[in-house]
Homo-oligomer: A and B are copies of this chain.
């Protein structure tokens, strides 16, 4: 999570696809005013008449632009609901590409998921409005699946590189990526359902820790540098009475007595 805080120069400028025409002077931070106007008009009409009840002509009519311009900025009507999706994917892939080979791959993809979370949390109002929309419009739900799929593919591709040496590296990469995305989405959705009031980051951290504990190579809840020296394993016959099991566990954890410590 430390990797996510205050990364000054890590922002991908603007070379993303589906960005539409770059307007005016070839500077760095220009404002696609027409694009924002289209998004604003679209969400206003979607709130009034619903997604299916709104035509592209309605949107461009309210925004005061030509119909052809809409499809210059958004390849499809559904894309106006996820305006900066391409930039987010580009940011995530850049973040993963900047990963070193030393750190834990699972940690890295969890941090990448936190990156996506931050993009949602930065605009709570917009995220909640979009969530209510996608929840009840089947076409938008389907579109959201391909949005999420892009993130999952980015995570899985990164993990496949990192797990290239493992025997089941590709399988593990796909499974871990799916688990991370599922955990992230679980926490994100419950936050969106609450209207954006709860503490997202804590819930997402807990959810990601859940899969990290199951799939990371650093098994404990600790980071590699704080990992304890000992690994504890307990053997017990199932028919043994509970108090005997407990006593043996305690003894084994002490490292003395009749436990199974080999050292």
A interface with B by C-beta (< 8 Å): 141-143, 145-146, 149, 168, 170-172, 174-175, 177-179, 181-183, 185-187, 207, 210-211, 214-215, 229-240, 244-245, 247-248, 252, 255, 258-263
Is B238 in contact with A229, judged by CB distance below 8 angstroms?
yes
A230 closest partner in B (C-beta): B237
* C-alpha spacing A185/B153, complex, angstroms: 13
Please indicate which of the listed interface residues A233, A238, A259 has the most CB atoms of chain B within 10 Å of its own CB. A233
Complex interface: chain B residues within 8 A of A168 (CB): 210
Complex interface: chain B residues within 8 A of A174 (CB): 182-183, 185-186
Is B234 in contact with A233, judged by CB distance below 8 angstroms?
yes
A147 to chain B, nearest CB (A): 10
Is B234 in contact with A263, judged by CB distance below 8 angstroms?
no
Complex interface: chain B residues within 8 A of A229 (CB): 237-239
Complex interface: chain B residues within 8 A of A235 (CB): 230-234, 252, 259-262
Is A237 in contact with B210, judged by CB distance below 8 angstroms?
no
Complex interface: chain B residues within 8 A of A238 (CB): 229-231
A140 to chain B, nearest CB (A): 11
**The one of B146, B179, B233, B245 that contacts A142, using a Cβ cutoff of 8 Å:** B146
Complex interface: chain B residues within 8 A of A145 (CB): 142, 145-146, 149
**The one of B170, B233, B234 that contacts A186, using a Cβ cutoff of 8 Å:** B170
* C-alpha spacing A233/B183, complex, angstroms: 28
* C-alpha spacing A245/B178, complex, angstroms: 34
* C-alpha spacing A177/B187, complex, angstroms: 15
Complex interface: chain B residues within 8 A of A141 (CB): 146
A253 to chain B, nearest CB (A): 8
Question: In the complex, given contacts A229-B238, A235-B260, A237-B262, what are 14 additional A-B residue pairs having Cβ atoms less than 8 angstroms apart?
Answer: A171-B186, A175-B182, A175-B183, A175-B211, A214-B215, A230-B236, A231-B236, A234-B234, A235-B252, A235-B261, A236-B262, A245-B262, A252-B260, A258-B260
Please indicate which of the listed interface residues A183, A210, A214 has the most CB atoms of chain B within 10 Å of its own CB. A214
Is A172 in contact with B210, judged by CB distance below 8 angstroms?
yes
A211 closest partner in B (C-beta): B175
Known: A236-B233, A236-B262. A178 touches B171 (CB 8 A): no
Is A259 in contact with B262, judged by CB distance below 8 angstroms?
no
Is B260 in contact with A234, judged by CB distance below 8 angstroms?
yes
